[in-house]
Structure 1
C-alpha cells in the first residue's frame, strides 16, 4: 500500500513538474512585445492591448516615446530593446512607425515590425510628406501650436476637436481624458527625414482603420503594399486610435506576427 501511495505521489509531482516546464518553455518561446505610442498619445494608450496580450501569456512593455525627433526617439526605444535578452516584436502607432523603423536597425533581437495606423517610411521620407501623399487628412485644421523655449514648436490637437479627429469610435468621456493627457509632438520631428528602412529586411505587418482622419487610409494602404507587408488588416469604421477602440483585434494581430517570427 505504501508503495502504491509513493508511486501515485511521484506521478502527480512529475506531472506538475512537466506542466511547469512546459509553461516556462512557452513563456521563453514568446517574444517580448515592445509598444511605441505616437504623437498626441502616451504609453497608457496601449493599456487595453497590454491587458489582452497578458491574458495570452505575452510580456508587453509600452516604451516612452519622447516625441522630439525621429533619431533621438529611436535611440531611446533602442535602449529599451537592448535591455531585453530575448526576441522582440516592435509595434508602433502613428509617428511611432518611423521611430520603430529606425530603432530596429542594429538590434538583431527584433524579429518583426507591426505598424498600427502608423507611417512606414522609406529612407528620406517624413511623417508630413507621407500624410500629404493622398488627400483625406483633416489633422492640420485641428492643431494648435505652442512655442518651445529653445525655438521651434510643439503641436497639440485642440481638446474640443480631439474626439472627432483622433478617436471618433471611443466614448466621449474616454476621448476627453485622452485629450487632457495627450503628449505634444515637436513639429520638427514630423518633418524629419527617416533613416534606413528596416522593414526591407524584417517582416512587417500593418493594421489600420477605414475611418482614420489623421493618416489617410489610402496612404496606409500604399505603405503596406510598398513594404510587402506579410499581412494587412483594415478595421471597418475604426479611427486613428484603434488600439484604444479595438484592443482585442490589435492584440490578436500582434500575436499573429509574434507566432510567425
Structure 2
C-alpha cells in the first residue's frame, strides 16, 4: 500500500515539475518574441511640402505600433540634405524603414548608403536617381510633367533662388485629389526648394542598389510622370503598387493606402 502511494506521489511531483517548467518557459519565450523591435519608420518629405503632410500616415503607423519620426528635410541640396537625414538615422537604434516622397526619394537614396540598420526603402511618388541623374533630368525623361510652368522663383540674398508652386495652380498641379480647402492650406504652408537642389546630380552609389525597395506610384502625377516612376521602380527591381488617379500628394489624399504599403515593407524588414 505504501509503495503504491509513494509511486503516486512521485508521479504527481513529476507532473507538477512539468507544469512549473511550462509556466516558467512560456513567458520567457513570449518575451523573447515580443522583444524583437518593430522598425522605426522615418518619413522624409519632398519639395513644396513639410513634415505635417505625413500626419494621416503617421497616425495610422502609430496605431499599428510602429515608432515614427517625420524628418525635417531642409530642401537645400541633395548631398547636404542627405547628410542631415543620415545624422538623424545615426541617432536611432534598431532597424529602420526609410520613406521618401518626391525629392525626398533622392535624399533617402543617398542618406541610407552603407547604413546596415536601414532594412527597406519606400518611394512614394518619388525620385530614385542613379549616379549622374538629377530630379530635373528624371522628370523630363518621359512626357507628362507640367511642374516647370507652375514654379515661381524667389531670389535669395546669398545668390541662387528658392522655388515655390504658384498658389493659384497648386491644387491642380500638386494635389488634385485633395479637397480644395486642404490644398489651399498646403499651398500656403509649402516649403520652397532651391533650384540648385532640383538640378543637383546624384553622386556615387545609391541605396536602392543594395537595399530592398518599394515604389508607390501615383497614377495621375503631374510632377513626376507615372512612366518615370515605373522606370525607376523597374530599374531598382522594386516592389510596386500603382494607385490609379492619385495625384503627386498621394500620401495626403490616400494616407491609408500609403500607410498600408509602408507596413508591407516594414513587415518584411
Q: Tell me what 1:5 maps to.
A: none
Q: Is the 8 A contact 2:77 2:197 kept in 1?
A: yes
* 2:40 and 2:94 in contact (8 A); partners too: yes
Aligned residue for 2:231? 222
Q: Which residue, out of 151, 158, 163, partners 2:159?
A: 151
Q: Distance in 2 between matches of 1:207 and 1:18?
A: 39
Change (3 A) 1:136 1:253: same
Distance 1:69 1:24 in 2: 43
Distance, in Å, in 2 between the alignment partners of 1:27 and 1:141 is 52
**In structure 2, do the counterparts of structure 1 residues 191 and 52 end up closer, same or farther at CA, with 3 Å as the change threshold?**
same
User: Counterpart in 2 of 1:235?
Assistant: 243
For the pair shown, which has the larger CA radius of gyration, 1 or 2? 2
Q: What is the count of residue pairs matched by the alignment?
A: 246
2:126 paired residue among 118, 140, 151 = 118
* Structure 2 gap segments, 5+ residues each: 1-19
Check the 8 A contact 1:27/1:57 in 2, yes or no: no
1:206 matched residue in structure 2: 215
Using the size of structure 2 for normalisation, the TM-score is 0.88
Q: 1:253 to 1:24 in 2, by over 3 A?
A: farther
Alignment of 1:1-261 (within 5 A): 18=27, 26=34, 28-195=36-203, 196-229=205-238, 231-261=239-269
Q: What CA distance in whole angstroms lies between the structure 2 residues aligned with 1:88 and 1:73?
A: 18
In the TM superposition, what whole-angstrom CA distance separates every residue of 1:178-202 from its partner, at most 9, and x where no partner exists?
A: 0011000000001111122111110
TM-score, length of structure 1 as denominator length: 0.90
- What SS does structure 2 have at the residue aligned with 1:29? coil
Change (3 A) 1:154 1:27: farther
CA deviations 1:130-152 (Å, max 9, x no partner) are 00000000101111000011111
Shift of residue 24, structure 1, vs aligned partner: 8.8
For 2:35 and 2:221, how far apart are their aligned partners in 1? 35
Alpha-carbon distance between aligned partners in 1 of 2:104 and 2:30, rounded to the nearest angstrom: 35
| CA displacement 1:89-142 (0-9 Å, x = unmatched) | 000000001100000013211111100000010111100000000000010111
Structure 1, gaps ≥5 residues long = 1-10
What is the distance in 2 between the residues matched to 1:167 and 1:237?
11
| Aligned-pair Cα RMSD in Å | 1.9
Q: Is the 8 A contact 2:114 2:207 kept in 1?
A: no
User: Per the alignment, do residues 26 and 58 of structure 1 end up closer, same or farther by CA in structure 2, a change over 3 Å counting?
Assistant: farther
